[in-house]
Structure 1
Amino acid sequence: MLQLRKVLSRLLCVIALLVSGLAAMSTSAQAAVPDRWGFAYVNTYSGIPSPAHQAGSWSVGFNVSVTPGAVGQSFVRFPQIATTGGVVHVTAVAQDAYWCQAQNWGPSGLDLVAAVQCYKYGGTPVFAEYTIVFETSTGTLPVSQGFGYVHYNGASITSQFNSVAAPNSVVGGGGSWTVSLPGLGSPAPAGNVQVTAVNPSQPARCKVAGWTPAPGGQTIQVRCFNATNVPLNTGWTLTYQRERAITGAAIPPKSFAYTFDVSPGTAGPYAPTPVGINYNSQLGVNTVQSSGLGLRMVLFPRVAVAPTHVQATAYGPGPEFCNLQTLWTLSGTTVFVRNVACYSATTRVNQPSLTTYTSAF
């Protein structure tokens, strides 16, 4: 009987250790980012958009779907990831001076639905293809990496994340804001920034107007404009990434990259510097080159693993904006973004821009 008690005691200890180990693993997984994410290339206003360019944290067998709204409006349904908060980014894919903006997003049953509206310069609603990504995060990251986002509704922060658990802040208004991401600092420029306008009732465009890195954190200026070039007080989203994918994945995809075209007048191909703004997870060297006035071809080598996603944002204090001229392509292991197209009103111009790419894997 004594021997049996000893055996049972040891067995219970083993079970307790296993349970505690699993609990620790679960806690560790929950502490990583993100909670939920999804992306798509929306090439239809009704039905299932391109299967080769959508992925998310939902179970196998589900797809992103799209339903039409008013002219230029569509509702993107991300399956099985219903939640509140997070951020949405949208980039138009068009041959002309079009942009797309988020109107709102939120849970609908088990799904998350985002409303997107597209316009041409001047404010006329128009059908346009676009890329869209949603992401929400919790937890922390090593200080060598950095990830943070802000959803600002024009008056206050409604959703935010910082991978060192520091509170982000926003000051300003009337179309110009300064965003502080404390604890995500770097001694030299490093990472990538994406900004998207959020407005449910009128045309709005937003961009990165300035970016100041420091060891204590990142300081980023956001500026927004109306259907033409008038500063506009509106909502917006901002995401900062450093050595993380735009989805902020807890187990990051092996294949992602980003770059900052700081010299849009350079014919190239050239690799933007410093190296921190030109990151490639597979140690490829990203390059940018001209395809004509206001057209910049971006190459991300070694990371072409479908399904894939691209976002682009204009940089600079003026009202210029950028979109994707057409769908990117994969050739071997290289991603060809041909092209990031930038505009001043309806005229293409050479404009600094930030481009980010990720695979689901």
Structure 2
Amino acid sequence: MSRLRRVMLRMLCITAVLAGGLTSVSTSAQAAVPNRWGFAYVNTTSGVPDPNHQAGSWLPGPTVTVTPGGVGQTFVRFPSIGIPSGGIVHVTAVSQTAMWCQVQKWFQSGTDEIVAVQCYKYGGGPVFTPYTIVFSESTGPVPLPQAFAYVNWNGAAIASSFNSALAPNLVTPTGVGVWTVDLQGIGSTGQTGNIQVTAVDPSVPARCKIGAWSPYTGGQKIQVRCHNATNVPLNTGWNLTYHRERAITGAAIPPKNFAYTYDNVPANPGPYVPVPAAINYNSQGSFNDIQTAGVGFRLVTFHKVGVLQDDVQVTAFGPGPEYCNLLTLWNTSGNEAFVRDIVCYNAVTPLNQPSMSTYVSAF
């Protein structure tokens, strides 16, 4: 199918949703349609970022644009999807060296949504590096076993929250730079789904990750850990998204092409397929595999779902200060999506580290 035809089909679906309203949940295919969503690969400090890796729920015509701020700071404008408050944002640095990006804030400007992003090298020096970004807002229930939930913690309280079971999301601080998140009503008997975490801080370097994950029949308990510019635990804000058999955007119509995986045996040279199967979901009924590309470097292949335009997000897992980013821009060929590579660091040293990654196409 040509890219033009895919764009036209996606926009027809969006138009139909907008015309019919966003509150209908009469069938599972219509449940929890996100009110708004958008993603981009930001490879410039000014202008229009890569058109092959940006898409959103806006109608044809406008594009994502970027304007520069201070050193290492950029403002991403998502057209026509602005909301007064709420929603969730994730970013992942794309760099050949030890860097990360964090969200500073997001807000409505006219009809648009603007996200301020700041990137740093290890130690806290501000610097621009390309990054991936995804913004979404969802409402409405989702029938189990599918699930979708997010929490924005502003450093003191929950500022934005969604749960597809229409149950509470709870956050309990348990130490400096450590919180327990309880996503109630979307439980499971074992690990299933995918988690993404991003630091939110307007003024100081901060990076956040998944510290631990303990599913139970009544919900998902997830530990969030955050650190400062080096390896010191830090109280800061953060965003967390949990998605199960749903894309990171939360969408119910398109995409048909999305996948996620959890590299829970990072020393396995592979290629290996992570287990249990519930942490290695592929919307086309295929599989995802992982193999080494060197110490700390992991090649992830999402089979049968690689369709432009698309987005990848990555989050480190574990109790220490490690963090992960993307080494380069992924590529697609023959409906295969090749993430070459995910790289994880302790300080500036690559090391084998568990991580979660998620892929979504606009189609």
Normalised by the length of structure 1, the TM-score is 0.92
**Matching residue of 2:291:** 289
The one-letter code of the counterpart of 1:115 is: A
Q: Which moved more, 1:30-39 or 1:155-164?
A: 30-39
Helix, strand or coil for the counterpart of 1:35?
strand
2:34 maps to 1:51: no
Deviations 1:18-53 (A, max 9, x none): xxxx98996338862311000000000000000000
Which whole-Å deviations, capped at 9, do the CAs of 1:279-321 have from their partners, x for residues lacking one?
0000111000000010000000000111010000000000000
- Who is 1:27 aligned against? 24
1:333 corresponds to which of 335, 345, 349: 335
- For the Cα contact (< 8 Å) 1:91–1:132, is it kept in 2? yes
2:187 alignment partner AA: G
Give the Cα–Cα distance (whole angstroms) in 2 for the partners of residues 65 and 221 of structure 1: 34
Q: What is the Cα deviation at residue 174 of structure 1?
A: 2.2
**What displacement does 1:331 show?**
1.4
Question: 1:305 & 1:23 partners in 2: Cα distance?
Answer: 27
- 1:311–1:357 CA contact under 8 A, matched in 2: yes
Aligned counterparts, 1:168-207, within 5 A = 168-172=169-173, 173-207=175-209
1:92 is matched with 93
Distance 1:31 1:260, change over 3 A: closer
SS of aligned partner of 1:125: coil
Residue equivalent to 1:162: 163
Identical amino acids, percent of aligned pairs: 63
- Give ranges in structure 1 of 5+ residues lacking alignment: 1-21
Greater CA drift, 153-162 or 28-37 = 28-37
**How far apart, in 1, do the equivalents of 2:163 and 2:21 lie?**
22
Deviations 1:55-75 (A, max 9, x none): 001011110000000000000
> Given that residues 245 and 252 in structure 1 are in contact (C-alpha distance below 8 angstroms), is that contact kept between their aligned partners in structure 2?
no
Which structure has the greater CA radius of gyration? 1
Q: Report how many aligned residue pairs link the two structures.
A: 340
8 A contact 1:135–1:248 mirrored in 2 = yes
> Match for residue 280 of structure 2?
278
Please state whether the residue corresponding to 1:276 is helix, strand or coil.
Answer: helix
* Partner residue of 1:241 out of 240, 243, 249: 243
Aligned: 1:321 with 2:323: yes
User: Secondary structure of 2:25's partner?
Assistant: helix
Tell me how far 1:252 sits from its aligned partner: 4.2
CA distance in 2, matches of 1:215, 1:234: 30
Query: Is 1:81–2:81 an aligned residue pair?
Result: yes
C-alpha separation between the residues in 2 aligned to 1:34 and 1:104? 20
Q: Provide the rounded CA distance (Å) in 2 between the counterparts of 1:166 and 1:99.
A: 33
8 Å Cα contact 2:32-2:250 kept in structure 1 = no
Q: Distance in 2 between matches of 1:202 and 1:108?
A: 24
Q: How far apart are the structure 2 equivalents of 1:198 and 1:259?
A: 24
Q: Describe the SS at the equivalent of 1:27.
A: coil
1:61–1:85 CA distance, 2 compared to 1 (3 A): same
2:275 paired with 1:265: no
Q: 1:360 and 2:356 equivalent?
A: no
- Shift of the 28–197 alpha-carbon distance from structure 1 to 2, 3 Å rule, reads same
Seen in structure 2, the aligned counterparts of structure 1 residues 145 and 346 have a Cα distance that, compared at 3 Å, is same
Q: Give the AA of the match of 1:294.
A: G
Supply the AA of the counterpart residue of 2:59: S
Equivalent residue number for residue 62 of structure 2: 62
Whole-angstrom CA distance in 2 between matches of 1:291 and 1:194: 23
Q: Which residue is equivalent to 2:10?
A: none
- Determine the C-alpha separation between the residues in 2 that align with 1:305 and 1:276: 23
Q: 1 CA distance for matches of 2:76 and 2:94?
A: 16
Identify the residue that residue 4 of structure 2 maps to in structure 1: none
Report if the CA contact (8 A) 1:293-1:349 is conserved: yes
How far apart, CA to CA, are the structure 2 residues paired with 1:146 and 1:277? 13
Name the SS for the 1:52 alignment partner: helix
Which ranges in structure 2 are unaligned for 5 or more consecutive residues?
A: 1-18
- Supply the distance in 1 between the matched residues of 2:100 and 2:235 (Cα, whole angstroms): 18
Instruction: Output the CA distance in 2 between the equivalents of 1:25 and 1:345.
Output: 45
Aligned to 2:219: 217
The 3-state SS of whatever aligns with 1:126 is: coil
1:137-173 Cα offsets, whole Å, 9 max, x none, are 1100001100000000111000000001001000015
Change (3 A) 1:302 1:232: same
State the distance in 2 between where 1:349 and 1:304 align. 28
Q: Is contact 2:289-2:300 (8 Å) kept?
A: yes
Rounded Cα–Cα distance in structure 2 between residues aligned with 1:279 and 1:32: 19
